[in-house]
Structure 1
Amino acid sequence: MADMASTPRRTVLTGFGVLSPIGSTPEAFWDALVAGVCGVRTISLLDASELPCHIAGEVPNFSAKAMIDKSYRRSLNAMARTVELGVIGSQLGLANAGIAKGTVPAHRIGIEFASLMGATELNDMAAASRIASPDGKTLDYGVWGSAGLNEIAPLWMLKYLPNMPACHTTILYDIQGPSNTQIPGDTSGLVALAEAARIIRRDAADVMVVGSSEGRINPITLSRYNLFLQLSKRNDDPAHAVRPFDLTRDGTVYGEGAAVFALEELEHARGRKANIVGELVGWAAGVDRGKKGPGLARVIRNALAAAGIEPKDVDHVNAHGTGTTVGDAFEARGIADVFGRDVPVFAPLSRFGNLGAASGLMELACSVQAFKNGLLPGTLNHESPDPACPISVHVGAPRPVTKPYVVKVTYTDLGQCAAAVVKRWDS
């Protein structure tokens, strides 16, 4: 589904905040991108040494308690790390956009957030598990229900629900406009961005907080992914583990982070003299059921049509580039179907790992910064092009940005696809 580009209510990006493995201010984030810094390291948040893949992208020195608004500090007791990342990311994004609580009428600001159900922290279940499974091998469900549940905190589930980042942010900032959470995996961020734009275009809000967060460095999550998904085994060389579209790629790694944008109606942004960093001009989403490429190509074409542009107008494609064998080949086929080898492809995920629901907006932030600074950094770890990935991956030194549009592409393992077109802001 795509929207017409002729709508009079234009949507612009007026700031963003990031919590990432390579930097947690726009300036530090950009400096790391240009310098080719990789934030994938041996996991330190827990002992993952027995797992086949024990490297990930961690947000260093993250402390929600030190960063959250003091009036809201007590609520941290009801937040898992994914939620903490989302709420702090929202604080950073709104501050960067120059939007303080009360500066926008409460009913004219809303939120669209991308997040997934979090895996429980083991300590939250430890006492109940010891009661219901004293031998550590079998679980007595009767004892679990009669005595074990009494050992679980009443607010336990609220720590992990995917809508909690949005809920806490609305309370903290008195956001009374439309509020929703998107959960279609790695496409969630772009889906949230598109829905926020629709809300503004139909005049249901003037400002939308568009955020995303996920914390995948959890013993349950990592154990599950190591069993069922293709993760890189380059534990001895984490900085070169994720190799987008490279012939020698052997899988992805996971990570944590948050990326939050302020999306705003153009005249509202001009009225408050906001710093505009880009304009969202088109988007589309769909499904490529067989993950062959045509469905992804169709989604990209729909996004271009919604923006009213052609492939030749695009400066670069910002790809998901997870470094998986099947995924990269699928994504490359879809991109090549539309652009051939004529448009450079930039794949930043290898710098911070696959952030799941937070990936799309984090990756988009890289291109927003590239437009702001007039330079596109090179893709890391793409050294041997794979014939199965017939695209032109931009590597090496940053190159000048020469055209006004970026197309951000993302997908899930189930074949869900999304694309967004952002225009460089020049006036």
Structure 2
Amino acid sequence: MVSNSRRTVLTGLGVLNPIGSTPEAFWDALVAGARGVRTVSLFDATELPCHIAGEIQGFSAKAMIDKGYRRSLNAMARTVELGVIGAQLGLQNAGIAKGTVPAHRIGIEFASLMGATDLNDMAAASKVSSPDGETIDHALWGSAGLPEITPLWMLKYLPNMPACHTTILYDIQGPSNTQIPGDTSGLVALFEAARILRRNTADVMVVGGSEARINPITLSRHNLFVQLSRQNDNPGHAVRPFDADRDGSVLGEGAAVFTLEELTHARNRNATILGELVGWAAGVDRGKKGPGLARVIRNALTAAGIQPQDVDHVNAHGTGTTIGDSFEARGIAEVFGRDVPVFAPLSRFGNLGAASGLMELACSVLALRHGLLPGTLNHEKPAADCPIAVHAGAPRPVTKPYAVKVSYTDLGQCAVAVVKKWE
């Protein structure tokens, strides 16, 4: 039975990103204006038009994972490692240890996409299947190439693997699902987790997103088909949200995982409450003109029972792309005009794909909690085609209890969440 009286609160946060891998370090970096976009170091990308990205330096899943689970890392690609470690950090931050919640009353909703293959996983098979080094002999591929590929190859890269490994490692036997609609998938996972709590199918939900986009295949593909910045000599200033001089986005990697909990359950265990999810909506703006996004924003506000004037700030996706920023700004402006400040944190750590929505939302949750909104980096010359009031410069006090998080994909899928400061 669905019950709107079952309120959903955020009680834990795990983050892994280029500027901070604890909530405290992440917040300090946000306030300080830290920049996590750098020249790629995981491989030599200098021949690509864009060879800068938001890379997590020094990440080691082996060093961070609970000791009893290290052998499981052999079946995890980097995206999966980030997701599993993020979930571990989110549960620890919430004060939930394995077995402290009945296994059937804790579930997981995760956001991830199909990972790109590590080149080494296919190298031997490709080499024996291509005698001339240029073309693949399909007969050789079947007879000699396939035996060179580990039987677990595909399981390292499937989108549902972060959720799968997390449920196994932490004995999560409640509802489990994976969402894959691109940059909106993290918020979509959050919405479905909230519905599960409202239906009384679980008391706690692990809600996360992870993606590792800095590998030769992914970066090459995005250089071909996506507007990436060419500001390789000035990586920290490359992504310029809603700026007249914006020339594209950059890719990033990371994981953001919230522990979402039914309010009474959280209170009964004296949990620290970071904020409350009070409304949400999703939809499609097929032409990416703005009215469809505006409709989704209004639906989310209606679900939360608030008006535009109740909102402290709008947390935008702000990818720094020419078309994307203009589209997003039109949708926001149709609802809020220039009356509500817009904050766009992506320029600090890059576009994290499936992890972006929740990582960006984490910035607003921390801002509401600390009573301070950091400025948007690299917004120096407001663009005429972006009719919104972007908050840049020094942090400003939070003056109202609500924040609105907007996310979208290049296909026009839109997702909007409303969170409230916990007092």
TM-score, normalised with respect to structure 2: 0.99
Amino acid at match of 2:75: A
Q: Distance in 1 between matches of 2:43 and 2:139?
A: 32
In structure 2, what is the Cα distance between the partners aligned to 1:154 and 1:105? 34
| 1:256-405 alignment, distance < 5 Å | 256-405=253-402
Classify the secondary structure of the residue corresponding to 2:115: coil
Matched residue SS, 1:234: coil
Q: How do 1:185-204 residues align onto structure 2 when only pairs under 5 Å count?
A: 185-204=182-201
Matched positions, count = 422
Indicate the residue corresponding to 2:69 in structure 1: 72
Give the aligned partner of residue 13 of structure 1: 10
Describe how 1:45-84 pairs up with structure 2 within 5 A. Answer: 45-84=42-81
Q: Give deviations 1:63-102, integer Å, cap 9, x for gaps.
A: 0000111111001110000000000000101000101000
Q: 1:187 is paired with a residue of what secondary structure?
A: helix
Structure 1 residue 113 corresponds to structure 2 residue 110: yes
State the one-letter code of the partner of 1:181: T
Structure 1 residue aligned with 2:89: 92
CA displacement 1:150-188 (0-9 Å, x = unmatched)? 000000000000000000000111000000000000000
Distance in 2 (alpha carbons) for counterparts of 1:154 and 1:68: 24
Secondary structure at the aligned position of 2:59 is classed as coil
Q: Are 1:142 and 2:139 matched, yes or no? A: yes
Superposed counterparts of 1:116-131, under 5 Å: 116-131=113-128
Partner Cα separation in structure 2 for residue 59 and residue 171 of structure 1: 26
Aligned mates of 1:309, 1:413 — CA distance in 2: 29
Task: Give the aligned partner of residue 241 of structure 1.
Answer: 238
State how 1:213-252 maps to structure 2 within 5 Å.
Answer: 213-252=210-249
Pairwise CA distance, 1:136: 1.8
Q: What is the CA–CA distance in structure 2 between the aligned matches of 1:367 and 1:319, rounded to whole Å?
A: 10
> Residue in 2 aligned with 1:22?
19
**Could you tell me which of 87, 100, 104 is aligned with 2:101?**
104
SS at match of 1:256: strand
Alignment partners' CA distance in 2, 1:38 and 1:127: 38
Letter in 2 for 1:332: A
Report SS of the residue matched to 1:336.
helix
Question: How far off its partner does 1:15 sit?
Answer: 1.2
1:164 is aligned to: 161
Q: How much has 1:106 moved relative to structure 2?
A: 0.1
Structure 1 residue 415: deviation in Å?
0.4
Unaligned ranges ≥5, structure 1: none
Quote how far apart the aligned CAs of 1:137 are: 1.0
Give the partner amino acid of 2:370: N
Given candidates 206, 209, 229, the residue that maps to 1:209 is: 206
One-letter amino acid of the structure 1 residue matched with residue 375 of structure 2: G
The alignment's C-alpha RMSD in Å is: 0.8
Which AA in structure 2 matches 1:214? Answer: E
SS, match of residue 393 in structure 1: coil
d(CA) in 1 for partners of 2:252 and 2:42? 11
CA deviations over 1:1-44 (Å, ceiling 9, x no partner): xxx9x811000000101001001011110000000001000000
Which SS does the other structure have where 2:381 is aligned?
coil
TM-superposition CA deviations, 1:39-66 (whole Å, max 9, x none): 0000001100000000000111100000
Partner of 2:162: helix, strand, or coil? helix
In structure 1, which of residues 134, 151, 167 is the aligned counterpart of residue 148 of structure 2? 151
Determine the structure 2 residue equivalent to 1:406. 403
Distance in 2 of aligned mates of 1:286 and 1:7: 21
Partners of 1:425 and 1:404 lie apart in 2 by: 8
2: CA distance between counterparts of 1:47 and 1:38?
21
SS of equivalent residue, structure 2 residue 281: strand
Separation (CA, whole Å) in 2 of partners of 1:65 and 1:14: 26
Question: Shift of residue 134 of structure 1?
Answer: 2.1
| TM-score normalized with structure 1 length | 0.98
